[in-house]
Structure 1
Amino acid sequence: MEIFQQYHIGERCLIVDIHFSSKPELNAQVDELCGLVNAAGWQVISSVSAKRNYPDPKYFCGRGKLDEIKQQLAACDIELVVFNHSITPSQERNIENVLGCKVIDRTRLILEIFSQRAQTYEGKLQVELAQLNYVATRLVRGWTHLERQKGGIGVRGGPGETQLELDRRMLRQRIAQIEKRLEKVKKQRSLSRASRKKHSVPTIAFVGYTNAGKSTLFNKISGAQVFVKDQLFATLDPTLRQVNIPKLGQVVLSDTVGFIRNLPHDLVEAFCATLEEAIEADLLVHVIDYADPEHLAYIEQVHQVLAQIHADKKPILPVYNKIDLLDNVDAGVYYRQNKPSEVYLSAYTGQGIEYLYEAIAKFFNQQWLKGVLVLSPQHTKIRAQLYQLGVVEKEQIAESGDYHLAIHIAKSDLTHISQTNKLELMANFSQDDSL
């Protein structure tokens, strides 16, 4: 069932940017919209902007503004209009009826880019799931030209309703099928993470605004060949690599999809499986484009998305990238002044990479505990939790019945177990790990 229309590379489009003074959360930068359009492989031929207090419930930007857009479409021979906002199915239908051309919103544009970028089996499943959830609310529009049921006892439905119900059932079945497959992928990832925890391998996830240089930095450190390009959402699929960090040892790095301003909540939900590497990581390296004048606003946007996926409580190491594009930025001086909370570097030239290694090593050396924990016989529940985490390296049982467990555990995990069981475990912990 082909219900999600694909657009051609080089598609000519007009972009619409409406600034709402009473609803600033709806506003997004027009430059970013142009970047998204270019990332989709389309051409921005013309643009229309306006200011309103509230979105028009029927036409979103108002009927008068639509007449202006229609004139520009005719003058420039354009058949595609892109809104820098999310619009409702009814608004989309009303706007298309007036303009006589295809209209897509910000969410649909991002989905178009995601469908082009996904390479792995999991990524393609997530894109298809997001597309199906999006199109489910707009399915009725595809059959308005067919006969509709008028109602009444004994009246049979026309072919339009039959086809509509058939497509709805097919959508529901396909969505359930994809969700089942993604759940299987999620379990496989969970097993891999449990194995890493069992072997005390720290995990680090690279997060940040799209086009901040995450993949470039990831490649520089890991030697991977993740696709890198100066465009929004160049990387979609997550990549994991095991690397050696000086003064620390082996760690697992993961590169995740970039965040963006006003990323629709439905898309965040659809890509939670990909973002699980960030949710479950021991440390988040927040890569920031320090050369971008808007970097402070982008930092806030990243924190908002992290809150959406419940990863905002994770330890974060800010990494200010692209210092090679700025004057008078010395990576060593900046790092020593802010040690160890911030790192300044250039992923492109490699300047300052050693300070990132040092900051990561310092974090994990301070945040991980290695030693012996003594538990009394009645605390078998805590013992079971430690084994479930895979942090027990050796165990002996004393003549008194106490458990002596040699563990290597994240300080946050030990604190969580202590709080859950209302028992101060640090009092029974010794950094002498000899049994």
Structure 2
Amino acid sequence: MQQIKHGGRRPRPSSAPTIIAAMLCVVALVAAGTAWWMLRPQQKDTLEHLAQPQSSSSTLNRDKAPTPKPQEHQKAADDSPAAKASRAIATMSLDERAGQLIMAPMFAGGNPADLSALISTRHVGSVVLIGNWNNGTAAAKTAADALQSYAPSGNQLIVSTDQEGGQVQHLKGSGFDTMPSAVAQGQMSADTLRSSAKTWGGQLKQAGINVDLAPVLGTVQVKRSSNAPIGALNRDFGLDSNGNAQHGIAFVEGMRDAGVGATVKHYPGLGAVTGNTDFTTEGILDTTTTLDGEQIGAFNTTIKQAKPAMVMMSLATYQRIDSSAPAAFSSKIIDGTLRGSVGYDGVVISDSLSAAAVSGIATKDLGVRLVDAGGDLACIGDTSYVTPILDGIIARAQSDPAFAKKVTASAMRVMTLKYQMGLAK
């Protein structure tokens, strides 16, 4: 505390009362000062806050803090095909999900309008063009466009055909090359076949086709002329298991290069039977194919390396794998082997469920048995089968929650493929 001077003169001594009063004043001043000092920071902050424009204060605060990155607050939306499919499935009714599991036939010379109710009302999600379509790419495109017009714009149809080459080429005429048989394709180098498949796929794309139900990967195990479904028609590449796999990979990749999905068929192979499953119930028991044999090996190699859009299941029965059911209805072959051991998680399609091979099974149960075994898409070659198969799937799902989950899983795989191919949005 500083001393107070008065003109340099020494002050007179104060009396006791004066001194006491002075001391009391000093104490009061000190107490007041202390109280003011203790309150000062809060008051100063409040005043500064009131004096500072609010917008400026906010700006200053923003400038001091680093701008947060979006991922620090929320995870970016998953835009993978599987995630999009999951969101789409979540909004679908059971009827809509079941409809995605049906591939209905469109015959050459038929009227696309005949399928309009199945597509728009029953939610059928796929169509196969079959028969002798001889009027070129323009006519096929007109039919495909008409069929697509019945489907929701955000969930277009898978439109397929059997375009293998040789005796199995459903679309011909202007704009389509005459494709050599698969045996002749087997004589090409893998690179040449891939290039050719890209050309053939481009022609399908121009015709509105987005999936080819080819190639055939069966490795013939018996005399070719006695192997009615494959060897007798030169539908295979005519090579050993490894050669068939390499050419299968080339075909699948060539189609993909053109923007068309490919389907390897008929898993696990029709190279060891004598009967054609389309037309007979005789000679369709395979007694030699095993899970580690060369016939199934051609498929497994192609599936693992080329990842085709679909795998078509055979309607033959395989005694040494599962003698209880045709491959299309065998959970051991589909879920246990194809999905389990091989690791394929794509769309599993049946061979035609209107074929003679499965004529002894009630129509309403055909789709149910496919889905129950782990399959997804019921390919149908007779229009009259479509409604009973679809109704059968729905009825079973309504009464069986476990089966309803399988319907959802199958619809997920079909929708994932559609998102992958740009058919769904």
- TM-score in terms of structure 2 length: 0.26
The structure in which a higher percent of residues are strand is: 1
| Greater relative contact order structure (CA < 8 Å, 6+ sep) | 2
